[in-house]
Amino acid sequence: MTRYEQKQEMRKEKARETVLKEANTLEGWPEVRGYDFEGEFNFENFMKSYLTTGFQATNLAQAIEIIKEMRREKTDIFLGFTSNVGTSGMRENIKFLVKEKHLKAIATTVGAIEEDIIRVFKPWVLGSWDAKGEILREKGINKTGNIFCPNDRYLYFEKFMNRVLNRLYERQKNEKKIIGIVEFVSELGRELEMMEVESEISKKALETSFTYWAYKNNMPIFCPALPDGSVGDMLYFFKKNNPDFKIDTSDYVVQVTDMALNSKKMGLVCIGGSVPKHLFSNAALFRDGADYAIFINNSTEFDGSNAGTSLDEAISWGKIKHDAKRVKVETEATLVLPLLIAGAFKLYEP
């Protein structure tokens, strides 16, 4: 063999050693395996297969297992979500959790509440992602993603809100007491119940509302950004005629923090970012962090936003305990929330 051939052979062996570097065999580690659709379909086994599928499927399966542990440990579950949850069919998912008393409290933005109430009267409808805004505007149709929200629904909401506001204003004048945000939202649920009693809406329609069920089950709904939506529009017109009408926008801070402090174990389930996610996370800070945490969103953390924050960032602030069971599922929520509820609540009883 010539010297040139020897050098070539040495290079080949070195390349082989580089490409096929000796490795730890990881014997005993979980095998990556998805659901085998051969044979009869079994939904429970299908859900279990997510744990070994990899990528975000595994994170979802871990979230399901964490919630199962929360339930076994009788953990207070604080659910935070943004308004688009109330816009979509996830509204019915939330209603189930509230009706069945699986939650300690809810935090959301006002859009979710007002759209939950509007849909008691008339539904949203499926449209298309690429519908032209200028054409929809001419027809009085609002668009949220591929969901259409016609303006006529807001006429029902205006009548509903005027009834609530007039009733609460009279109470304020008589009792000399300013209502807080949590009580205000509860009164919305109470108004729906009164409408059903007076046969203005059906019982079936009433019971689709998570706002109603939260009122019925005495479950607080925290909504710090109360005027940031159609409720704010109604408040504008009402206060122009009744400028002395007030809502206490600070009492909820005491309420939510006391709830966190009084929880033996606290679990966070946050869908999306924004105020709801931070409200419960910050309340957990007062007790040196939550014991469990599940974040579901598709935001990144490169800009330091609350929406995309990592679990380690929350730990650094003391909002999640360093040894908490935790996972972030990076995905669009409509894809996974029904599966999460199916796996952690419907298929499982502690």
Q: Is the distance from CB of 70 to CB of 97 less than 8 angstroms? A: no
Closest CA to 272 of 306, 299, 305, 297: 297
Q: Is the distance from CB of 59 to CB of 329 less than 8 angstroms? A: yes
The span from the CA of 269 to the CA of 265, in Å, is 13
Grouping H, G, I as helix, E, B as strand and the rest as coil, residue 250 is: coil
302-334 exposure pattern, b = at least 16 Cβ within 10 A, e = fewer: eeeebbbbebeebbeebbbbeebbbbbbebebe
Out of 95, 216, 277, 319, which one is annotated catalytic?
Answer: 319
- Residue 14 is among the residues annotated as catalytic for this protein: no
> Which residues are 149's β-sheet partners?
142
Q: Is the distance from CB of 182 to CB of 219 less than 8 angstroms? A: no
Q: Which residues are designated catalytic?
A: 319
